[in-house]
Each structure stands twice: as C-alpha cells, then as structure tokens.
C-alpha cells in the first residue's frame, strides 16, 4: 500500500515537473519580439529588434530600429534605438497572446543631430500592463488595450547646448472593464497629460529671422503650459466621448476640443485597418470604387452627436491685433473696425447668406473684447458622417444639419 502511494506521488511529481518545463520552454524570446512587430504593424510601426534574451519570465531586447509607415508606399527614415528594453513578468497565454507586467527603458541621453548639435535626455520611462493580443490580423479589440499605463519623467532637448524644449512629465493611464487584456472588453476610459512644458523659441530667428522677429514682438520667446486629454469609449454602441483635449499655454491661450460620437465600434476600426492594409500600389478602377463604397459604408455607421472647438485667450489675440495694427500704421481700435467691416464682404464670397448672421456677431464681439470664441456642432439628432457629406452639397442646409453655432465670450459650460 505504501509502495503504491509512493509510486503515485512520484508519478504526480514527474507530471508536474514536465508541465512546468513545458511552460518554461513555451516562453521564447524571439517569438515574443516577433509578435511585437506583428501587432504594431497595422498601427504604422515597422519594428526590427536586436538580440532578445530570456531569463526566467524576463525578456531583454538589445535595441533595434523602428520605421513609421503612413501608408504602404510612404515610409519615413528608420530610427535606430540602441537602448536596452526589459519586459518583466512575461506570460504567454494559451491563445498565443502575451502579457508583461511592465516594460522599462533605461534613461535616454543621446545626440540626435550634428549641425546644429542636438541632444535629448529622457528619464524614468515605464509602461505597466503590456499586452500583445493574438490573431492574424490582430483584432482592434486587442489593439486598443496595448498597455495600461505609460509614463516618463523629465524630457530635455538642447540645441548647441541651449535647452529649446522640455517637459516635467508625461503620463497616460487607461482603465478597462471588465479587465485589462480581455477579449470581451466592454468599455474603457483614458487620460493623457504632458505637464510642465517649456519651449524656448529664440533660436527660430537663426533659421528664419522674419519669424523670429514676429515671435519676439508677440512675446512668445518662452512658452510654458500643458496638454491634457480625457475620453471614454463603450464597445457595444461605439460611443466615444472625448470630454477634453486641451492645449493650455500660460499667458498665451488655451484650445479645447471635445467630440461625442456613436457607432465607432471595434468592428469599424477593424475595417479601417483592413482598408489601410489594402492601400498602396496601382489600383484598378474597380478596386478604387470598392474602397470608396467601403469607406461610405463606414461613414454611414458613425454618427456625430456633438463636437466643439473653443479658444480662451490669455493675451495672444490682443497681441496679434496690436501687432498687425502697428504693421498697417493704424491704432488697434481703427484696425479692429476695419476687420469688422471686411468680414461680411469676405463671407459673402462663400455664397452662403446664412453664414453672415451666424459668424459676424460673435466674431465682431471677440475682436472688440478677445475673451473666448467657440465653434459648436450639435445636430438635432445624431447624424451619420455620410449624411453630413451629402448635405455638404447644399452648404446652407449643412449649417442646419450640423446645428452649427458660433459663440464669443461665453463662460465654459
């Protein structure tokens, strides 16, 4: 009896050992980096990696190159990165996908140009929750979950030893429901922030003295600010709510873009990627027509609920008016009155009389007192992009279809 139990334990131990060995052997460093290249190719990145080594569940890659491809026939020059990249806590799943706990890159301190001498320093680079989905082609539901968060510390770019651009930190964070790296993703929310941006534009004068003089006259030689984005996305109905995309620069002004769309589902994104992959090279007339029809079908399914772009002035508009008034030899009040008198004539050239009542009052109010100006779109009901394109044949009708409105000097809602 005891012999039987001993034999059974030895058998179970052997099976467990074989299983563990099988799992360890299944994780292959080269297969992992090959999968990175496959996953990022539909997004327009062509990766070639250096040697990849495996140590337990950690994969280290010795640099490589990346080429940004805007279309199959349009590639930028390859960018070489000789920095070691470490993927920690790598697991290969049964479906062929991979998940890594984190991706870390040593601080970058490198020259990138010789004349003028360009140098870049970037520290504290880290991605947490790195996902390589399975599938060929890679499904959009996976491509929108490539990482949970990405962050860096300070960036500094110098030109001939003088800092021309920097920021304090960059951070992107996403929350996924029901879970990260799920093939049954329901919805997600994301934020993105670049804080402590600083740009020294004095060196522009070295390349373009005219532009440099204008920048100095406008007081834009040193610009500081931040960029922020916040959005949510529901997969079932493709509801994308871009609640904020803000470029806010101190003592200059802020631009804020919002958009509310429905119908932009992962299935639509899959079709867009497929169309991009099929583009390039010579096409027959039938192929071009087929692509056009496919594009129209996609636009039919995506609806615009609302959108806006708003500018809040923090001195730039006033400085521009003063600058151009001085160039014209007039004082600001006279120059503004001239602009206001020209505006109806300029709009009349469009052949859309309705624009006059829509645009002239708010733009005139902004010129008199530059605080804010906003262009908003809010159709009476969610309207497909295809319907809006068709309405463009009748611009006056398009204004109604869009629910187009222009407002000046109104508080933020």
Listing DSSP states for 110-125 in one string gives EEEETTTTEEEEE--E
CA distances to 126, 177, 178, 186, 312 from 190, rounded to whole Å, are: 17, 12, 15, 14, 24
Residues written for the chain = 413
Helices 354-368, 332-348: crossing angle, 10 deg rounding: 170
pLDDT per residue, tens digit, the chain (413 aa), is 433 333 333 333 333 333 333 343 358 999 999 999 999 988 889 999 999 999 999 999 998 888 887 665 666 777 787 889 999 999 999 999 999 999 999 998 888 788 888 899 999 999 999 999 999 999 999 999 999 999 999 999 999 899 999 999 999 999 999 999 999 999 999 999 999 999 999 888 788 888 888 999 898 999 999 999 999 999 999 999 999 999 999 999 999 999 999 999 999 999 888 887 777 666 777 777 777 787 877 888 899 999 999 999 999 999 999 999 999 999 999 999 999 999 999 998 888 888 899 999 999 999 999 999 999 999 999 988 888 877 777 777 888 888 999 999 999 87
- Output the pLDDT for position 70: 66
The pTM of the full predicted model, rounded to 2 decimals, is 0.86
- The CA dihedral of 317, 319, 323, 329, to the nearest 10 degrees, is 90
Which residue ranges make up each domain of the chain?
102-264, 302-413
Q: Which residues contact 301 (CB under 8 A, 6 or more apart)?
A: 238, 263, 265, 268, 384
For 54, the enclosing helix (H) or strand (E) is strand 52-55
Are 69 and 46 in contact by the 8 Å Cβ rule? The answer is yes
Q: Are strands 118-122 and 108-113 parallel, antiparallel or unpaired?
A: antiparallel
- Output the pLDDT for position 44: 87
- Output the pLDDT for position 285: 77
> Where do the H-state alpha helices sit in 81-240?
140-143, 204-207, 209-217
């Amino acid at each position: 009896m005891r012999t039987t139990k001993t034999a059974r334990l030895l058998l179970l131990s052997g099976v467990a050992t074989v299983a563990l060995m099988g799992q360890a052997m299944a994780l292959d460093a080269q297969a992992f980096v090959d999968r990175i290249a496959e996953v990022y190719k539909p997004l327009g990145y062509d990766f070639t990696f250096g040697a990849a080594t495996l140590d337990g569940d950690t994969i280290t890659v010795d640099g490589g190159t990346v080429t940004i491809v805007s279309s199959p026939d349009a590639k930028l020059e390859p960018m070489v990165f000789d920095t070691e990249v470490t993927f920690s806590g790598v697991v290969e799943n049964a479906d062929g996908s991979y998940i890594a706990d984190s991706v870390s890159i040593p601080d970058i301190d490198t020259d990138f140009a010789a004349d003028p001498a360009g140098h870049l320093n970037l520290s504290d680079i880290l991605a947490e929750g790195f996902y390589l989905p399975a599938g060929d082609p890679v499904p959009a539901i996976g491509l929108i979950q490539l990482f949970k968060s990405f962050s860096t510390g300070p960036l500094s770019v110098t030109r001939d030893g003088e800092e021309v651009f920097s920021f304090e930190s960059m951070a992107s964070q996403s929350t996924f429901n029901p879970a990260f790296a799920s093939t049954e993703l329901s919805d997600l929310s994301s934020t993105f922030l670049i804080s402590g941006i600083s740009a020294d534009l004095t060196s522009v004068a070295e390349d373009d003295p005219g532009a440099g003089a204008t920048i100095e006259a406008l007081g834009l030689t040193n610009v500081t600010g931040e960029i922020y984005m916040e959005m949510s996305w529901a997969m079932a109905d493709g509801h994308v709510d871009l609640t904020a995309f803000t470029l806010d620069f101190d003592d200059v002004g802020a631009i804020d873009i919002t958009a509310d769309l429905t119908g932009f589902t992962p299935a639509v994104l899959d079709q867009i990627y497929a169309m991009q992959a099929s583009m390039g090279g010579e096409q027959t007339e039938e192929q071009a027509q087929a692509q056009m029809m496919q594009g129209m079908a996609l636009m039919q399914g995506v609806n615009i609920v609302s959108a806006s772009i708003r500018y809040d002035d923090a001195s730039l508009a006033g400085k521009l008016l003063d600058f151009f008034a001085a160039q014209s030899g007039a004082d600001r009040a006279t120059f503004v009155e001239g602009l206001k008198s020209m505006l109806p004539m300029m709009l009349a050239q469009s052949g859309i009389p309705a624009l006059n009542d829509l645009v002239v009052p708010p733009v005139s109010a902004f010129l008199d007192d530059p605080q804010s100006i906003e262009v908003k779109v809010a159709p009476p009901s969610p309207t497909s992009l295809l319907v809006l394109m068709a309405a463009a044949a009748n611009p006056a009708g398009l204004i109604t279809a869009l629910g187009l409105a222009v407002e000046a000097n109104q508080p933020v809602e």
